Structure 1
Amino acid sequence: MTRPAQSATGGMPMELLLLGYLLSYLPSIMLTRYLATTSIVALGRPLTGLELLPGSLMLNLVMTYAFIWLSGWHRQANRLAIGRWSVPFPRRATFLSGLATSLVLFTVPLSLTFKGVSIPFIQLIMRGDILILAPLVDVLFGRRVRWWSWLALAMVAFALVIALTDRGGLRLPPLAVLTVVLYTLGYFLRLVVMTRVGKTGDPQTVRAYFVEEKIIALPMSLVALAAISTLGLGGQADELARGFIGIWRLGVIWPLVGMGVTLTAVSILSILILLDPRENSYCVPLERAASLIAGVVAALLLAWIWGMPVPRPAELAGAAILIAAIALLSLAPRLSARAAHGVMPARAMASPDKDH
């Protein structure tokens, strides 16, 4: 008899992980949007997304590496011997996942900085395509997709349609379109690798995957940005160069530290949610919907505190649908399990006891 898969969360309820994810993502979004829309004294204007990215990613790298070392998660990772030393080093699969994640790492904060594009709308676009990919990856690997996962997927797709219809289509700046494409490609490759080697239900596998993926993803995202800045491609290269060097003299160090801390927490909680052994069509909608709700709440708080634009009614309606999807994914598996356990004893009672 095979043993049932353990929870990749080490027994922590999924709802608690989602709450931690939402509460970590919320200040990250607010800090990013605030810095991208509020005039900096030293510049006389807000920071651009390309100016914000390098500093926040560098701090994220330092904090993530500190967590990997202090938590002891590095002990579960694959090792590479270099003389007398043994250091964590990714396997082929986690190396590919690291490259894919590097695309996600810099497109997510960049997506929050486009003028004229609301936080809920860009999040609906970027999360909606991933939700479509999730069941396709499950089917590709022969994993069962349960009815509640299909229904939640349909609900999220409906929320996406509402937002798109309200705005009359995408209508995004070219850089925003590129951001969505790179994000989708990175997330798809990451899901494929996760499904193949990571969703075992073993907490040790989760820790090893996180370490091996991040030791590639974080440096590669910075290398890609540095390469762009050295190519001299006009104003965008200048902005990236300022993000690597000049950002530390602009008086925004503490908001950047806050972004680094929250991004690190989000990455840890995200891996615990996505590597749960259940199907991607269950895990991905939960994680994506939680991030969307964080985006809507952040937009409302920014409007209330700093007078920024209020989310459109269609975007709020989409958020309400996503909350319902989370409730469905949380309750349906439990009710199904209770129903199954309730049927089993009845069948057992109907069978004659051969010992008497």
Structure 2
Amino acid sequence: MQTPHDDSHDLTIWAYAFGYFAAYAPYSALTKALSSGALPEMEHGIVGFALLPVSAMTSMVGMFVFLSLKRWWRYAAHRQVLGLRVPVPGPWTFLSGLCSAAIIGTTTLAYTLEGASIVFMMLLMRGGVLVIAPVVDALSRRKVRWPSWVALALSLGAVVVASGTEARATLTLVAGLDVGIYLVSYFIRLRAMSRLAKSEDKSLSIRYFVEEQMVATPVLVIVLALVALWGGAGPAADIREGFVGAFSRGTLLEEVLVGLLSQGTGIFGGLILLDSRENAFSVPVNRASSVLAGVVATLGLSWWLGMRGVGGRELAGAVLVMAAMSVLAVPTVLAARRREAAARAALGR
């Protein structure tokens, strides 16, 4: 059983939550606009599978640049390969990287699939991960504190309320597979994080993050390239078009931006989940940020492109999200203030 510790004064997770929100809102809005063909001068939308190649390659470049600028490569395990010392993932981080690659792909596809409401997909994906969080905590023998339970319930309620009557789409085979892969991947990823990285030792979290990230987008790009080369019709043809038609569609800049923003959500979202507190704390912070971003993205698309705006249910969901984040944030902020006051008092003696 893992020893509980008091890290309630740590406010870093809220900076990550803002970064996640700031990346997720334009990412989801731009992906929806591209798939709907709603951008100016677009004659038709881009199929979801065709959006993946450029966005995945851009995400991969963004990952290498970010880790290099942060100088985090040194945290990963290293081996000698052909006389060079290179970073390598461990078995668990490699598996988690594969799951992260699946999450990246299924998240992008969720905003583009035909026959399934985007809001309905968000209900299944966001709600599913919220349900998984305490299960993983129980399996990892982590104590779940009462603010986390309250925020978990409020966050799940927000997703249900925001979906409301919109959650009535037929779940196609592709949509069902998309959700299933997404949830299984998150379960394995959260389990691996709880086992190896959710610790007071920040170096362990950074090591896990680096080793996971160095696997995720390169694997996704390789899989897409192999499918494009040897696949047949259907999704494989769409992926092939995503590669060969990158310069002819006239939306290369927007697709690159989707990839960069997607990597931003991966960076900040991953750092939120690696917070040393229980998953029932970190997952609602992650999910609440994305729900708020979804509301803002919908508002942006309405004002910018005249697409459907935010309904009353979505606004009610946003209020519940704010309540959930307040339940989590207030004890953290108060603990930080008490710690700061105690430190001042100690210095004044």
Interval of TM-score (by shorter of Structure 1 and Structure 2): 0.7 to 0.9
Could you say what secondary structure the match of 1:234 adopts? coil
Q: Which residue of 2 aligns with 1:57?
A: 56
Distance 1:45 1:327 in 2: 42
Q: Which residue of 2 aligns with 1:100?
A: 99
Q: Which residue of 2 aligns with 1:236?
A: 235
Q: Which residue of 2 aligns with 1:276?
A: 275
Distance 1:232 1:272 in 2: 35
Distance 2:207 2:306 in 1: 44
Following superposition, the deviation at residue 117 of structure 1 comes to: 4.8
Q: Which residue of 1 aligns with 2:178?
A: 179
Letter in 2 for 1:277: S
Letter in 1 for 2:301: L
Larger CA deviation: 260-269 vs 287-296: 260-269
Checking the alignment, whether the CA contact within 8 Å between 2:292 and 2:321 is kept in structure 1 is yes
1:167 has 2:198 as partner: no
Distance 1:83 1:278 in 2: 40
Could you say what secondary structure the match of 2:143 adopts? coil
The 1:168–1:102 alpha-carbon spacing in structure 2 relative to 1, beyond 3 Å, is closer
Q: Which residue of 1 aligns with 2:126?
A: 127
Letter in 2 for 1:58: M
Following superposition, the deviation at residue 127 of structure 1 comes to: 0.8
Listed as ranges, the matches of 1:291-310 within 5 Å are 291-310=290-309
Could you say what secondary structure the match of 2:234 adopts? helix
Distance 1:102 1:244 in 2: 18
TM-score normalized by structure 2?
0.88
Distance 1:341 1:6 in 2: 14
Q: Which residue of 2 aligns with 1:285?
A: 284
Listed as ranges, the matches of 1:237-256 within 5 Å are 237-256=236-255
Gaps of 5+ in 2: 342-349
The 1:3–1:331 alpha-carbon spacing in structure 2 relative to 1, beyond 3 Å, is closer
Checking the alignment, whether the CA contact within 8 Å between 2:56 and 2:217 is kept in structure 1 is yes
Checking the alignment, whether the CA contact within 8 Å between 1:38 and 1:45 is kept in structure 2 is yes
Checking the alignment, whether the CA contact within 8 Å between 1:164 and 1:170 is kept in structure 2 is no
Checking the alignment, whether the CA contact within 8 Å between 1:126 and 1:184 is kept in structure 2 is yes
Following superposition, the deviation at residue 164 of structure 1 comes to: 5.3
Could you say what secondary structure the match of 2:112 adopts? coil
The 1:50–1:222 alpha-carbon spacing in structure 2 relative to 1, beyond 3 Å, is same
Q: Which residue of 2 aligns with 1:22?
A: 21
Following superposition, the deviation at residue 102 of structure 1 comes to: 1.2
Distance 2:184 2:211 in 1: 20
How many pairs are equivalent?
A: 339
TM-score normalized by structure 1?
0.86
Checking the alignment, whether the CA contact within 8 Å between 1:38 and 1:46 is kept in structure 2 is yes
Distance 1:324 1:144 in 2: 22
Listed as ranges, the matches of 1:82-161 within 5 Å are 82-115=81-114, 117-161=116-160
Distance 1:42 1:163 in 2: 32
The 1:119–1:300 alpha-carbon spacing in structure 2 relative to 1, beyond 3 Å, is farther
Could you say what secondary structure the match of 1:113 adopts? coil
Distance 1:39 1:333 in 2: 42
The 1:164–1:46 alpha-carbon spacing in structure 2 relative to 1, beyond 3 Å, is closer
Letter in 1 for 2:325: I
Distance 2:54 2:277 in 1: 36
Distance 2:211 2:279 in 1: 21
User: Could you tell me the percent identity over the aligned residues?
Assistant: 37
Q: Which residue of 1 aligns with 2:318?
A: 319
Following superposition, the deviation at residue 304 of structure 1 comes to: 1.4
Checking the alignment, whether the CA contact within 8 Å between 1:25 and 1:262 is kept in structure 2 is yes
Larger Rg: 1
Could you say what secondary structure the match of 2:247 adopts? helix
Following superposition, the deviation at residue 120 of structure 1 comes to: 4.1
Letter in 2 for 1:128: G
Distance 1:287 1:134 in 2: 11
Distance 1:338 1:59 in 2: 41
Q: Which residue of 2 aligns with 1:347?
A: none
Letter in 1 for 2:247: W
Letter in 1 for 2:303: W
Letter in 2 for 1:144: K
Could you say what secondary structure the match of 2:200 adopts? coil
Distance 2:186 2:332 in 1: 25
Could you say what secondary structure the match of 1:153 adopts? helix
Letter in 2 for 1:217: A
Following superposition, the deviation at residue 202 of structure 1 comes to: 2.4
Distance 1:65 1:197 in 2: 23
Distance 2:337 2:61 in 1: 45
Could you say what secondary structure the match of 2:309 adopts? coil
Distance 1:115 1:234 in 2: 17
The 1:42–1:120 alpha-carbon spacing in structure 2 relative to 1, beyond 3 Å, is closer
Letter in 1 for 2:273: L
